[in-house]
Structures are given as C-alpha cells and as structure tokens.
C-alpha cells in the first residue's frame, strides 16, 4: 500500500481517536489526581499508640505543669496540665510550642570547640578534658576566683551544682541574670532583711494597684496571673494599671493611669503621702517600721505632696488622692511592682516605694496581700569540703554585686578580671543593656564555656559549648520563682530520648568536677545528675516523683515582719533616662515574644502582629501627636546615645505623647531563619544606668530622637 | 447524612472578650494540634495560615481614652441563612470539598477533594479560610512532631478551622467503645479552648441546655422577627455574633460588658445601634 | 456528575441541573454524529464532483 | 510559499513578513507560557494573590473575556435563530473571537486553580448549588459548541476542502448550525448568568450580594444581558482592528451599522436595568445589612465613586446613546469611541464584580485590601491576547473568514495561483 499524505493523515487521526476513546486518558487523569493527593514531599505523620506524660515547663520562671501527648515515642502536642497548682490547665503559647525547640535548627547538636572564627565538633570526653585542663591551670595560677559563672537563677539543683563547683573550686563569682525573683529578693532584703522574698496574692486581692506590672503580659507566672486576672470580675476585684502605654494589662484593667515613664517611684511615694496625710494607714503596722519612719513620713509629705507629684508624674493630683483612698480603703489591696515582665531594669527606689504602700496598709502576710517570707530552701546539698585554695579564693570579694557590674569591671580593667566563664541558661549578650559592650566583655574573657542548647548570641562568643538537653529531654527540679502567692517545685521529666548528642548540664558539671579531682571531685560523688537530684531533693522527692510537683508553702504566712525604711527615708534620686533628646524610648513586653535569652518559637513569631514586626523591620509605637510628620507604616530612624536603628512607624493612640515604644525579644541572630534576623534588639539601643545605693541597672528607657528615614 | 441517630448536635463557642488577654495561646495550640505549617516570613498576615486568628480592635478614640480588645476568630461554622446549613462557603464550593455536618453543625474541609478555586475564601467575610500558597515545609527533623490525627495539607488547597473534628471522632469512638450513646461535654473540647490560660473560651453543644455554652448564650431557637435569616440569636444582652445581620448564623458567640465592643461586631447605619442595642431576641419563656 | 458518584441525590436540584446539561450534551452529540455520518455517506455516494 | 493554503482570490502579505509578525507575537506567548509553567510547577505563590484576594487579576480576565466573547453567542442567536441574514458576513469572525475568548478563559482557569490536575473534580464531584459549577459545565459545553461552529470555517480552507469528507462535513454542519446555535445560546445564557451569580450569591459580601428571582440573583441576568450587549461591541472592535492592520475593508458598513444598532439598544436596556439594580442595592440591600454606599467607595487609595460613574455613565450610558442614534452610530469615529467605551465598560463591570468585592472590608474592624498583580499574573493574562492575535492572523490568512472580502477588495490577478 502506498502511504500518501492523505492516508498518513487518516492514520494519524485514527490513532488520536483510538487513544481518545481508550481508557488511557481516564486512567492517567485519575492517576495524576491521586498523585497530587499523595505528593511524596508532603509529610504523612506516622500513627501509633497515644499516651500522655506529665512534666513541667522551664522556658520561663512560671513553671507550669504540662501534659504531653505522644504517639509511640514521639511527643506531638504540649498542653497545660489540669489541676496543677501553678496553672491548672491552660498554657502559654511558648510552652505549647515547646516541641519546636526540640527540633530547632539552631540547636547545638554536639559539643563544639571554637577554632578561629569557626566551631568544630569535638567529643564529650575531649570537651570535658579541655575544660578541666583550663580550670586546673587557673587554679594553679593561684586565683581560682577568676572562674565566674552566669546562670539564670540561684534556685534549683542545677544552679546549685554550678554554685557548688564554684565554691569548691574557690570562686565567689556566681551571678544570675536579672529576673523578677531577683528583684523580689532585693526588695525584700532592703525592707525586711536578707534571705526573704515576696509573693503577691493576686487571685484573692480585691484591689490590685499595678505599677506597670504586665499581669497579662508575662509578668510573674504568666498562666497563673492570667487566671487571677480572668477571675477578677467574678470576684468584684479591681485592677488599676499605672503605665505610660496602653498595654494589654492597661486595656484590660478597670482603670488605666498613664504616667510619665520612670516616675512610678514618685507616684508611689505621692500615694504614700496622701495615705499618711489622711491617716489612711494602719497604725499598728507602722509599729513594725524601722529605720526612721518619721523621717520618711516628713520627707514624703514635703517632697511628694499631690500637686508636686502630679507635676513629676503627669498624673492629676485629684487622681492621686482618689487612688490613694481606694487603695487604702480596699479590704485586700495589693501594690505590685516590676514593670513589664518584671525582669527588665528596675530601680530599688521604685521597688521599695511600691512595696512600702503594701506595708503602710498592712496587707503583709494577709490574704489578698503581699506575702513576705524566707526563700524556700528545699534542697539539701551535703556540706562542702574545701581545700585551702578554695577557702582562700571563695572568701575574696565578688567582682561586683550584679552581673552588669561584672561586665563593667571586665570591660574597664586592663588585667583579666575573669579567666574563665561558665554560662548556663543565660544569654547576657542579648538580654543585658548595651549588648555591644556585653559582647565585648565576653570576648575579653579568655575562656568561655557555654552550656546552651542553642547557638545563641552568647554561645557564639564561647570557646567551648557543652550543649544541654532541652527541657523536654531532661529531669530537673523547677522551683516557681515568680512572685506567686504559693511556693511550688515542679519536676521536669524527659519525654523523649535526647534528639542530639547533648548532656544534662548537671551531668556536665559533675563530669567537670570529677575531672578536676581532689577535693572538688569529692564534693561531687554522684554518678549522675539524676542520682544527685534524688538525694538532694530527699525531703520532697517522693512528692515530686509521684505528683510531679511539691507544694512548699501555700496561703498567707503567719506573723508580722519588720519594715526597714532607711533606704527610702534618705530620698534617693529618681533615675533619669540617659541622653538629652526630647523623646523617651521604652521597651515593650509582648506576651508573644520572649525577652530572656531564648528566641520565641516559629509558631510564636507567626502570631506576632504586623504592627510589631513587618518582614525584617521592627515596628515602633508612637502617638500621632508625637509622630508629627511621620506616616503610619512609614520608615524612620531612631537615634539614642547608644546607636541608631531603622524602624517602621505604627501610630498608636495608646501611647503617651513623648514616648516611643519598641518591643523586646526581636533581633536575634540565631541560625534559625524562622525566628532570627527579624527586627532589632532593643537592648542594643539602651545603655545601663546604675542606681547609686543599690547598684542595680535601672535604665527604664533612654532618650531618643526620631527622624524620617 | 441527616440526623439518623438520636438528636443533632450544634457545636459552638462563646468567647469572653473581657477575659481574653490576646496572648496567642489559642493560635499556637491550634497550629500545633492541626499540623499548621510556618514559613520564614509570616508578617504578611494576608498569606499567613492561622486557623485561629486574634484581631486587635480599638475604640478609635485618642489618648488617653483609647481602649483595645482582642477578638479571637476561628472559623465561624456558619449555619447559613435560616440556619439551614447553606453556609456562605459550603453553598459555593463547586466540588463539595467543604460540607455542612447536619449532625454536628461543623463545616468540614476535605483537602484531597479541594482543587483550589478559592471561591469559598471570597464567600467568607470573616477571612477564616486560608490557601496553601506554598508547599508546607518543616525544618529537618521537625516533621517528627506532626500529629497523625490531622493530615498535613498539600500546596494548592484551602484549609480552615475544623473545630478539632478529630477530637470529636476520638471522643465518639471512646463513647461507642464504652457502650454510651453520646459524649460528655468535657470529652470533646477544641485545642484552643483547652489552651486558653484565661479560660475565655467555652465550647460545647448549643443544642444541649446542660452545656455551659448554651447556658451563657441562651440561643433563641426561633428566627429573629426582624430578620428571618437570623436564627439562634443570643438572649444574653452581653452576647453578640460577628456580622449577625448578614444572616450567616455563626456558631461563635462573643461576650463583652463593653458596649463599643458589642457594637464593633456588626455594621450599623447612623443611629441604628441605639435603637436595637437593647433588643435581644424573644424572651426566655418562648423556650 | 453521574448518579453513581456519592454526592448525587435524586433531588430537584440535581435533576434540573444535570437534566439540562445532559440534554444539551445529547443534542450536540447527536448533531455531530449526524453530521459525521451524513458526511461519510455523502462521501461514499459522491461521484467526486466538487460543487459550488 | 504557502499560497496553496491561502483562500482563492485573496491577497495576503508575503510569507516572510507574516512569519516575522507571528514570531514577534510568539515571543510574548512564550513569555506567558513560561509564567504559566512557573505557576504550575511552583504553585500560586508565584502570584501576588493572598487570602484576602483569592480572586484576582485572572478571574477578572476570565470574566472579561467571557463577557466580550459574548458576541459569538449573541450574533449566532441573531443569525441562526432570529434569521438576521446580514450577520452571516460577520458570524465567522464572531465565532473565532468567541473561540479565542473561551479557550483563553479555560486556560486561565487551568492556571488559576491550586490543583490543576484535580480540576476535573468540578465535574465529577459537582455541587449543583454552586454558581461556579454551573459556570464550569456551561462554559465547557459552550466551548464545544464554539468549536463545532468554528470547524466548518476551518474545513473551508482551500486544501482541507479538497478532501471530500471534510467538504461534506462542513456542508452538513452548516445545515444543522441553527440547532447548535440554539444550544449555544441556551448554554451561554446560563454560564454568562451564573458568572454574574458567582458574585450575586455571596451573601457574606454586602458589596456583591443582590436579591433576585428564585435562585438567581439579579447579577445573573445583568451579566447575560451585558455580555449580549457589549459582546458585539468587541466583535466590531476586533473587526475594526483587523481592518486597520490588513488595510482592507472586510465587512460592509450596513452589517456593521446593524450590529452596532442592536448592540446600542441592548446597552441602553441593560444600563437602565443596571441603574435600577444599583439604586435598589444602594438604598435597600446594603443599608439593610448596615452599610451605606459611601462605605464601598471611601477610605482607600483606589476605589472611589469615579469607578461607579465611569462604569455606568461614561462606559454605559454614553456608548448606548451613541449607538442608538443613527447619525452618531454611522459616524465612524463616534462609533469607534462608543464601541471602545462599551468594551471598557463591561470589563470595568467585571473588575468591580471581582476585585472590588475582595477589597471592601466587611467586618467593622477590617481594612481595605489592595493588591497589585505579579509579573507572572500579568504575563499569563497577556498570553491569551497574544494567542488570540496569532489565531486571528492565521485564520484570516488561510480561512475564508470574511465572505465580503473579495467583493470589497478588487483583487489583482495573482500569478502563482493555480
């Protein structure tokens, strides 16, 4: 047959028609859609047996109970634990997102050693040997006090092990990062004596006078505070919020009293003045006052009369009188301090002035008031045995009282103040003011050992990283240190085998101590941290391991306490913001971000408003009156004595004119693109201002100018 | 699937806006429960998948009279005009990829059925529906936390809040296994409800007078005589729904003592609000 | 689309909608079938003269 | 070179010139195809659409091409059912334009959906209550009708027509074309209408929602009517463009005047209905939901009353008036202005009924959402235009599209013709 054009065409058309009527097309159409329903690059979670495990969150001092849902060995969901004494169900977003920390791209997966600018992997044995070797050298040089440690807190067994190591090594230089608990202790020490702490009975008080405490912004134990706040209406209790910005707490309060930033202490004293003048105070209570109550009373009435206070604070004199009357006449009033989360810079004048209100109306150790009692000591470490080097070193003076003083001294001194530094659960290079100079100080220290789980800003400056388990991989006692009315210790339990080659920081300390041999090793005779915890928590271990928590104290403590007002009676100066620009920059605490060392999780960052973070730009809040020519969502340049930053503008009627608010918790530089390199760290722009008399960094903000970018 | 076994549920929620702190726990709990992905930049809120989204409302007044309130907004699980199940989205989906459960009142979404036309998103005035513009991707290892209860969605489909339907199924399975006809109130609670640290969210069966949500909302079972499309209006003067006048009949109710907040729930012509603000459906004796 | 797909219901909506659709499709199918068959018939019975 | 394919007696430009022209337009097509593949392989993140703008440029383009493609069904209806015989001189071209519009619409839909490989679910798992389902069914079926209407014209190509089967097929299809045209008109009525219904049924969107008749909101009828009214404008416009490009008169004036007149009266009746609808919506529907008219046209950087006035008055009333009056209608310049305004008007109407709906805030605390398309969206939207140009060029060159062409153009004897 001759194949001409026509028959070829026919053949072609026939073939097309044939394929068209065959089931091939239908089959391919069907198969292709089934393929789209099962794309191999879309993960399919594996099913398995469902179990629940209880644990405690240690991302913040709140110490909430957690219930973790697991599928076989995989934890898949974290929720609040019902009937837990701290949070009773409910959990904050950071705890719920906890699993994201487990698989965080910025986790340190093995011990690392810095070589030049880069980290390289080393084995645990080598790392411990290296640290021990360095410490032996320091000890040999005769100045063991040049080993320092910065941890998140003093309480708890892991911190206890670090302190024990330093002490038996011969160094008094153990520091903690500022936290609400540390301020509670400082306040209690100034007014009531050493070893005391303060708790606030928010869930029973009928009148909470909050001096900027972000009761629903993450202050204290967040979930516990949320619950106390949520029950407020049902209890007919009132919340008055004194703050320069309409925070969520201010918005939720019964009344918001805008105040010039940094003048909270003056307002507190102004309220004291009204109470004293109008005889609204409890005469019986003032009998406990020491250190010159009359002097204080005279000074206050002279310097903080309502009209004067109004001038200083911007709060109307009539309002001051009204607040004083309401506060003093309430059945169970409580005045609460600690601006924002309460872990930022605070001045002792403010802390003491606010707490004096509590003392004046005699709500101390009464239901719904402030509980003043000794710090809970639930751990029983055996007494240290120290050799002569340790004795000599430990008896020397600390380089400074607070961590910011240590940093200052390191930076100022030409000789090394610190030869080796341990950093545990702290990120001073991020969370202290003027982070540039903090980084400089850390850089000056010859040997820095980080125990961080993540390659955070401070870990990056370290010479050795001994990565810790995250809170989901470890056993640990977690005392709630957050101004709670009750004192609870929770037990964090491992809910998954360590994901990476990490160790419990407690184990790492024990290994280092053993490697140091001699009297130091003798003080660390436990095989493992777990064994150590069980023995030192002896008294409450049964309760911890059975219930997951132990309640150390609950309800109002009995007895009255002495009040020493000598610090205030001298009328210390109120801290002024650094610089001479016209406006004041203040940090904002946002519940959806974390301002301590760790970064907020990808989920938490996702919830952050585009009025806080837009792309990689941080958004600052400013009143339209102050913004003048600046447009909403436009760009501007902020200049403070510490530096400049490009920011986006959010015109916000909830800001007091004259101030600019910048959120804390952004601007991390972790190797985690979901949470890092977003916005800037407000601590880069604010420098420390040391309060004379207390030594605290009390920089509530800084002077700033703003111009169109 | 009409109501073949016992009586139909009508699951719904009431959110106390005076208790809500805007903390975001509900959002994260939802994301974690339902395998919602995340991407590098989530600050463009118009392409950020948050089944539960929290709006920040202000009263529009200037300093110092400004007030703010946070309004959590899950899918409203609309019953549609007259509460007949023709939700704005369900009625427009061309491929029955979203459907109304007459036995639960829940608006479902079948990801493998959806072909991504996004008509439902246009139909929803609450922006409760989200499109997967990207393939979901987790950082290495993080897929290990994904829950098998909810399948991760592929790129190109719409997703939204399901009232944690898998929790309902699990609760029903247990009840069935234990030989019970029905589930208890506490057995089926959504992830946002259990997470809320302020206890601002109450979830349950609006048809069941024993449930807390019913007791707070006191829904009027009769059509609103002023707008026949509206059914289930709350008889609690502090309770309102979002855009109730459109006749979408959401199953999310909001509670607030503040008048400006209740007014913000809907659109009113000048002067209209004052005329109707004290109107709260038929009296309770009609029940 | 077909009575055997599970969304199908024998209700007014389906009957009207698919009634109209299948009716239109039938007309088009029948029309085209007729044209093709007629054209084939014409081709076979054609002497090959081209007109117009 | 390709003279054997060119209709007998027709004068066409040289093949190289034709090829160069096609190559230039093809480059645009390739750009569009590249963007299309990006959207298919990488997903719709290639667009600037978002969760507020789930319907965007493409859906507007889709609605617009279907509206202006309405000239095909309406001309077919007039030609085959109402037996207006003069229109046979433009029906081929109207069909080709319709074919281009509808094939483009289907292509755009195939790019627009997030899961193109599951697109057929709209048929298989059809929800008969959804306007979009109705659109998909009628659109596809009507595209089949347009293909059927186009086939005879293709078969009339000089070479194809030599094949006896094709010759007879074309002849027979002409014979039953009225049946196809009637079916097409039926399908068109429903899909044009249901496209209007797509917006009108959105009772969650007070800007879109309309009352109506039974299950059909008023927009259903307005869309059908406007497509029938403005579709012929587009047919006339493309004819005018083709005439300008080829430098030839292709359709006699009486045919143009007739179609323009019909279009004019359709526009006038449509615009009256549209004005009534707008007033009723502005005074009754929207206020009953708590909205004033100003809500939809203020507090944003783009949508103002200008868009309403432009659509209804400038691009509705004005072209309608021009086209119904003999003196202005038969003035070529005014007529051109009118048909251009008409085409803009209907496209603007579709824009408003897609994009402005998405932009208007509904919740009292929501904000206006404005969006600008990405280059991928623009490229894929231009793609059909370029494809249309090529198809028209090829059809014009090789098919006897315009029956009056030879009569209107004295043909020089062509040397290489056989």
Which residue ranges make up each domain of chain B? 11-286
Query: Hey, which CATH number is domain D15-403, 3.40.309.10, 3.40.50.720, 1.20.1630.10, 1.10.10.10?
Result: 1.20.1630.10
- Is residue D413 helix, strand or coil? coil
Q: Which of D136, D203, D287 sits opposite B94 (nearest CB)?
A: D136
- Is A704 within a domain? yes
Distance from CA of B250 to the nearest CA of D (A): 11
**Taking 50 as the threshold, does the pLDDT of residue B285 lie above it?**
no
Binned at pLDDT 50, 70 and 90, residue B146 comes out as very high
Contacts of D140 in chain C (CB under 8 A): none
Backbone angles phi, psi at B61, to 5 degrees: -90, 160
How much is the pLDDT for B5?
Answer: 46
- Is residue A651 helix, strand or coil? strand
Alpha-carbon dihedral of residues A664, A666, A672, A677, nearest 10 degrees?
A: -160
Backbone angles phi, psi at D304, to 5 degrees: -125, 180
- Is A573 within a domain? no
**Cα A293 to Cα A297: distance, rounded to the nearest angstrom:** 6
pLDDT digits (tens, 9 = 90+) for D133-185: 988 998 899 999 999 999 999 999 888 888 889 999 999 998 889 999 999 98
Inter-chain CB proximity B94 and D118 less than 8 Å = no
- Could you give the strand order of the β-sheet that contains A207-210, starting from the edge strand earlier in sequence? A255-257, A238-242, A207-210, A333-336
Distance from CA of D413 to the nearest CA of C (A): 21
**Does residue A447 contact residue A420 with C-beta atoms inside 8 Å?**
yes
In the numeric block, which tokens belong to residue B66?
Answer: 């400004």
Strand residue runs (E) in B105-259: 107-109, 130-131, 158-159, 201-205, 223-224, 227-231, 239-241, 252-255
pLDDT digits (tens, 9 = 90+) for B3-21: 344 579 999 999 999 999 9
Same domain, yes or no: A458 and A357: no
**Taking 80 as the threshold, does the pLDDT of residue D209 lie above it?**
yes
Contacts of D141 in chain C (CB under 8 A): 21, 24-25, 28
**Does residue A89 contact residue B198 with C-beta atoms inside 8 Å?**
no
pLDDT digits (tens, 9 = 90+) for D47-63: 999 999 999 899 999 99
**What Å distances lie between residue A162 and A11, A172, A174, D108, CA to CA?**
87, 11, 8, 66
Domain boundary among A333, A352, A368: A368
Domain boundary among A352, A368, A384: A368
Residues 6 or more apart in contact with residue A642 via CB below 8 angstroms: A434, A436, A684, A685, A686, A687, A702
Domain boundary among A349, A368, A387: A368
Inter-chain CB proximity B28 and A216 less than 8 Å = no
Same domain, yes or no: A358 and A385: no
How much is the pLDDT for B102?
Answer: 94
Mean pLDDT of each 10-residue bin along chain A, 709 residues long: 68 82 86 93 94 94 94 96 92 96 96 95 97 95 95 94 96 95 94 93 96 95 94 95 96 96 96 94 83 90 94 96 96 95 94 95 93 90 93 93 94 92 96 94 96 96 97 94 86 96 97 94 95 92 93 87 91 92 96 91 97 96 93 95 96 96 95 94 95 92 94
Average pLDDT over residues B267-283: 82
Residue burial A554-582, b: 16+ Cβ < 10 Å; e: rest:
eebbeeebebbbebbbebbebbebbbebe
Structural class in CATH, domain B11-286: alpha beta
| Chains touching C (3+ CB pairs < 8 Å) | D
**Cα A648 to Cα A156: distance, rounded to the nearest angstrom:** 42
- Is A137 within a domain? yes
Closest CA to B65 of A660, A654, A209: A654
**What Å distances lie between residue D377 and B120, D47, D60, D299, D373, CA to CA?**
21, 6, 11, 27, 6
In the numeric block, which tokens belong to residue A563?
Answer: 């009040």
CATH at A655? 2.40.40.20
Closest CA to A243 of A219, A220, A225: A219
| Chains touching D (3+ CB pairs < 8 Å) | A, B, C
* Exposed/middle/buried for residue A38 (C-beta within 10 Å: 0-12, 13-18, 19+): exposed
**Cα C21 to Cα A96: distance, rounded to the nearest angstrom:** 52
**Taking 80 as the threshold, does the pLDDT of residue C48 lie above it?**
no
How much is the pLDDT for A597?
Answer: 83
Give contacts of B 195-254 with D, CB under 8 A. Answer: 242-243, 245-248
Inter-chain CB proximity D51 and B130 less than 8 Å = yes
* Pairs across A and D, CB distance < 8 A: 14
ipTM confidence score: 0.93
Mean pLDDT estimate for chain D:
92
Give contacts of B 10-69 with A, CB under 8 A. Answer: 16, 18-19, 21-25, 27-29, 31-33, 35, 38-45, 48, 50, 54, 56, 58, 61-64, 66-69
Same domain, yes or no: A247 and A389: no
Domain coordinates in residue numbering, chain D: 15-403
CATH at A382? 3.40.50.740
Binned at pLDDT 50, 70 and 90, residue D415 comes out as very low
Interface check for B161 against chain D (CB to CB < 8 A): the answer is no
**Does residue A583 contact residue A261 with C-beta atoms inside 8 Å?**
no
Residues 6 or more apart in contact with residue D334 via CB below 8 angstroms: D322, D328
**Taking 80 as the threshold, does the pLDDT of residue C44 lie above it?**
yes
Strands A613-614 and A617-622: antiparallel
How much is the pLDDT for B287?
Answer: 39
Binned at pLDDT 50, 70 and 90, residue B104 comes out as very high
Interface check for A518 against chain B (CB to CB < 8 A): the answer is no
How much is the pLDDT for B2?
Answer: 39
Selected residue of D43, D115, D118, D370 to mutate for chain A interface (largest A Cβ count, 10 A): D118
| Full domain range(s) for residue A226 | 202-368
Average pLDDT over residues D4-16: 86
How much is the pLDDT for A9?
Answer: 73
**Does residue A238 contact residue A254 with C-beta atoms inside 8 Å?**
yes
Q: Which of A607, A611, A678 sits opposite B27 (nearest CB)?
A: A607
How much is the pLDDT for A289?
Answer: 87
Binned at pLDDT 50, 70 and 90, residue B284 comes out as very low
In the numeric block, which tokens belong to residue D240?
Answer: 């005018």
Show which residues on chain A lie within 8 Å of chain D, measured between beta carbons: 6, 29, 32-33, 35-37
Question: Largest Cα–Cα distance in chain D?
Answer: 75
Binned at pLDDT 50, 70 and 90, residue C15 comes out as confident
Give contacts of B 100-159 with D, CB under 8 A. Answer: 113-119, 121-127, 129-135, 154-158
- Is A503 within a domain? yes
Interface check for A92 against chain B (CB to CB < 8 A): the answer is yes
Mean pLDDT estimate for chain B:
93
How much is the pLDDT for D416?
Answer: 43
In the numeric block, which tokens belong to residue A592?
Answer: 């959806």
Distance from CA of A37 to the nearest CA of D (A): 9
How much is the pLDDT for A12?
Answer: 83
Q: Which of A6, A29, A36 sits opposite D115 (nearest CB)?
A: A36
How much is the pLDDT for A481?
Answer: 74
How much is the pLDDT for D223?
Answer: 95
**Taking 80 as the threshold, does the pLDDT of residue C1 lie above it?**
no
């Amino acid at each position: 047959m001759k194949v001409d054009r026509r028959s070829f065409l026919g053949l072609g058309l026939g073939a097309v028609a044939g394929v068209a009527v065959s089931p091939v097309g239908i089959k391919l159409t069907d198969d292709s859609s089934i393929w789209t329903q099962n794309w191999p690059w879309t993960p399919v979670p594996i099913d398995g047996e469902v179990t629940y495990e209880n644990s405690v969150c240690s991302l913040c001092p709140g110490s909430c109970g957690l219930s973790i849902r697991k599928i076989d060995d995989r934890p898949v969901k974290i929720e609040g634990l019902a009937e837990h004494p701290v949070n009773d169900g409910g959990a904050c977003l950071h705890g719920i997102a906890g699993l994201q920390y487990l698989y965080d791209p910025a986790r340190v997966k093995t011990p690392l050693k810095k070589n030049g600018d880069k980290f390289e992997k080393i084995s645990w044995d080598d790392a411990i040997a290296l640290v021990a070797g360095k410490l032996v050298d320091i000890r040999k040089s005769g100045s063991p006090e040049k080993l320092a440690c910065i941890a998140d807190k003093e309480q708890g067994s892991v911190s206890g092990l670090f302190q024990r190591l330093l002490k038996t090594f011969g160094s008094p230089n153990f520091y903690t990062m500022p936290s609400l608990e540390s301020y509670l202790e400082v306040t209690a020490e100034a007014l009531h004596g050493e070893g005391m702490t303060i708790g606030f009975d928010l869930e029973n008080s009928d009148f909470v006078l909050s001096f900027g405490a972000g009761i629903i912004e993450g202050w204290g134990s967040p979930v516990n505070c949320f619950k106390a706040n949520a029950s407020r209406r049902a209890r007919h209790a009132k919340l008055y919020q004194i703050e320069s910005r309409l925070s969520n707490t201010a918005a939720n309060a019964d009344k918001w009293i805008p105040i010039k930033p940094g003048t909270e202490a003056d307002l507190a004293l102004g309220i004291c003045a009204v109470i004293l003048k109008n005889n609204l105070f409890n005469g019986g209570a003032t009998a406990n006052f020491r250190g010159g109550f009359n002097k204080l009373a005279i000074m206050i009435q002279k310097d903080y009369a309502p009209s004067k206070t109004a001038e200083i604070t911007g709060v109307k004199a009539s309002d001051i009188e009204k607040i004083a009357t309401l506060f003093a006449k309430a059945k169970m009033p409580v005045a609460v301090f600690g601006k924002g989360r309460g872990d930022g810079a605070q001045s002792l004048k403010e802390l003491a002035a606010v707490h004096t209100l509590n003392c004046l109306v005699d709500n101390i150790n009464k239901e719904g008031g402030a509980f003043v009692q000794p710090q809970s000591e639930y751990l029983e470490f055996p007494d240290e045995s120290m050799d002569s080097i340790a004795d000599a070193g430990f008896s020397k003076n600390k380089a400074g009282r607070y961590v910011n003083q240590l940093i200052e001294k390191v930076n100022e001194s030409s000789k090394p103040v610190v030869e080796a530094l341990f950093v545990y659960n702290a990120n001073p290079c991020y969370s202290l003011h003027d982070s540039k100079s903090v980084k400089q100080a850390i850089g000056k220290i010859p040997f820095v050992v980080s125990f961080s789980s993540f390659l955070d800003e401070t870990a990056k400056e370290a010479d050795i990283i001994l990565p810790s388990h995250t809170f989901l991989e470890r056993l640990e006692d977690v005392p709630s240190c957050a101004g709670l009315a009750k004192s609870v210790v929770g037990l964090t339990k491992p809910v998954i085998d360590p994901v990476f080659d990490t160790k419990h920081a407690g184990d790492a300390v024990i290994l280092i101590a053993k490697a140091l041999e001699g009297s130091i090793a003798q003080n660390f005779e436990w095989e493992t941290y777990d064994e150590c915890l069980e023995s030192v928590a002896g008294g409450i271990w049964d309760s911890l391991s059975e219930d997951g928590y132990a309640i150390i104290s609950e309800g109002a403590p009995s007895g009255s306490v002495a009040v020493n007002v000598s610090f205030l009676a001298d009328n210390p100066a109120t801290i002024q913001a650094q610089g001479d620009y016209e406006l004041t920059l203040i940090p904002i605490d946002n519940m959806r971000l974390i301002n301590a060392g760790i970064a907020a999780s990808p989920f938490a960052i996702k919830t952050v408003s585009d009025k806080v973070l837009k792309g990689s730009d941080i958004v600052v809040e400013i009143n339209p009156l102050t913004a003048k020519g600046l447009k909403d969502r436009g760009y501007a340049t902020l200049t403070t004595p510490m530096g400049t930053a490009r920011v986006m503008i959010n015109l916000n009627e909830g800001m007091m004119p004259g101030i600019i608010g910048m959120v804390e918790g952004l601007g991390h530089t972790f190797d985690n693109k979901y949470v890092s390199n977003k916005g800037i760290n407000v601590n880069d722009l604010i420098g420390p201002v040391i309060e004379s008399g207390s030594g605290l960094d009390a920089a509530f903000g800084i002077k700033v100018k703003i111009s169109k970018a | 699937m009409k109501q073949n076994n016992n009586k139909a549920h009508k699951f719904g929620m009431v959110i106390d806006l005076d208790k809500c702190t805007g903390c975001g726990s509900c959002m994260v709990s939802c994301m974690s429960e339902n395998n919602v992905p995340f991407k590098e930049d989530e600050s463009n809120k118009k392409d950020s998948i948050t089944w539960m989204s929290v709006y920040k409302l202000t009263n529009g007044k200037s300093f110092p009279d400004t007030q703010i309130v946070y309004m959590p907004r899950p899918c409203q699980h609309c019953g549609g005009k007259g509460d007949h199940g023709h939700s704005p989205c369900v009625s427009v989906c061309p491929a029955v990829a979203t459907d109304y459960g007459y036995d639960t009142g829940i608006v479902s979404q079948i990801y493998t059925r959806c072909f991504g036309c996004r008509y439902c998103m246009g139909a929803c005035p609450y922006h409760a529906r989200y499109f997967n513009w990207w393939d979901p991707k987790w950082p290495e290892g993080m897929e290990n936390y994904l829950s098998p209860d909810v399948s991760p969605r592929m790129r190109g489909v719409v997703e939204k809040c399901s009232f944690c339907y898998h929790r309902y199924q699990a609760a029903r399975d247990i009840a069935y296994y234990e030989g019970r006809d029905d589930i208890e109130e506490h057995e089926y609670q959504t992830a946002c409800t259990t997470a809320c640290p302020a206890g601002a969210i109450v979830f349950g069966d609006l048809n069941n007078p024993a449930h807390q949500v019913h007791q707070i909302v006191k829904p009027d079972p009769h059509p609103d005589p002023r707008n026949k499309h509206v059914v289930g209006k709350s008889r609690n003067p502090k309770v309102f729904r979002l855009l109730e006048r459109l006749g979408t009949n959401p199953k999310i109710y909001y509670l607030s003592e503040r008048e400006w907040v209740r007014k913000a729930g809907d659109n009113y012509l000048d002067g209209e609000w004052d005329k109707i603000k004290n109107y709260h459906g038929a009296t309770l004796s009609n029940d | 689309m077909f009575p055997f797909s599970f969304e199908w219901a024998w209700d007014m909506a389906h009957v009207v909608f698919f009634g109209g659709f299948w009716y239109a499709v039938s007309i088009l199918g029948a029309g085209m079938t007729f044209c093709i068959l007629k054209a084939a018939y014409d081709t076979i019975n054609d002497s090959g003269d081209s007109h117009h | 070179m390709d003279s054997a394919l060119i209709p007998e007696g027709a004068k066409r430009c040289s093949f190289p010139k034709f090829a160069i022209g096609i190559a230039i337009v093809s480059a645009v097509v390739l750009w569009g195809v590249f963007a299309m593949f990006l959207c298919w392989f990488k997903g719709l993140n290639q667009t600037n659409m978002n969760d507020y703008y789930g319907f965007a440029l493409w859906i507007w383009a889709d609605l617009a091409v279907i509206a202006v493609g309405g000239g095909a069904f309406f001309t077919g209806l007039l030609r085959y059912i109402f037996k207006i015989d003069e229109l046979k001189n433009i029906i081929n071209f109207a069909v080709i334009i319709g074919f281009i519009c509808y094939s483009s619409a289907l292509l755009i839909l195939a790019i627009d959906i997030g899961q193109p490989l599951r697109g057929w679910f709209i048929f298989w798992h059809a929800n008969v209550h959804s306007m979009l389902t109705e659109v998909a069914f009628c659109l596809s079926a009507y595209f089949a009708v347009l293909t059927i209407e186009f086939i005879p014209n293709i078969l009339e190509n000089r070479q194809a027509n030599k094949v006896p089967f094709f010759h007879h097929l074309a002849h027979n299809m002409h014979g039953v074309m009225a049946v196809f045209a009637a079916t097409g008109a039926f399908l068109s009525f429903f899909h044009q209408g249901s496209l209007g219904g797509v917006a009108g049924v959105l009772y969650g969107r007070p800007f879109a929602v309309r009352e109506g008749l039974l299950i059909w909101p008023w927009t259903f009828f307005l869309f059908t009517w406007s497509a029938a009214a403005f579709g012929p404008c587009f047919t006339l416009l493309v004819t005018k463009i083709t005439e300008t490009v080829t430098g030839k008169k292709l359709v006699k004036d009486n045919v143009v005047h007739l179609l323009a007149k019909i279009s004019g009266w359709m526009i006038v009746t449509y615009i009256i209905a549209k004005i009534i609808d707008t007033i009723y919506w502005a005074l009754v529907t929207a206020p009953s939901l708590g909205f004033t008219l100003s809500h939809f046209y203020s507090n944003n950087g783009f949508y103002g009353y200008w868009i309403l006035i432009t659509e209804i008055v400038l691009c509705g009333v004005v072209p309608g008036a021009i086209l119904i009056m003999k003196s202005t209608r038969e003035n070529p310049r005014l007529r051109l202005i009118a048909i251009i305004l008409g085409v803009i008007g209907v496209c603007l109407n579709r824009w408003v009924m897609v994009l402005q709906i998405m932009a208007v805030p509904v919740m009292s605390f929501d904000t206006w959402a404005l969006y600008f398309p990405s280059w991928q969206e623009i490229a894929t939207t231009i793609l059909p235009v370029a494809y249309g140009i090529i198809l028209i060029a090829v059809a014009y060159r090789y098919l006897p599209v315009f029956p009056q062409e030879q009569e209107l153009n004295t043909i020089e004897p062509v040397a290489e013709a056989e």
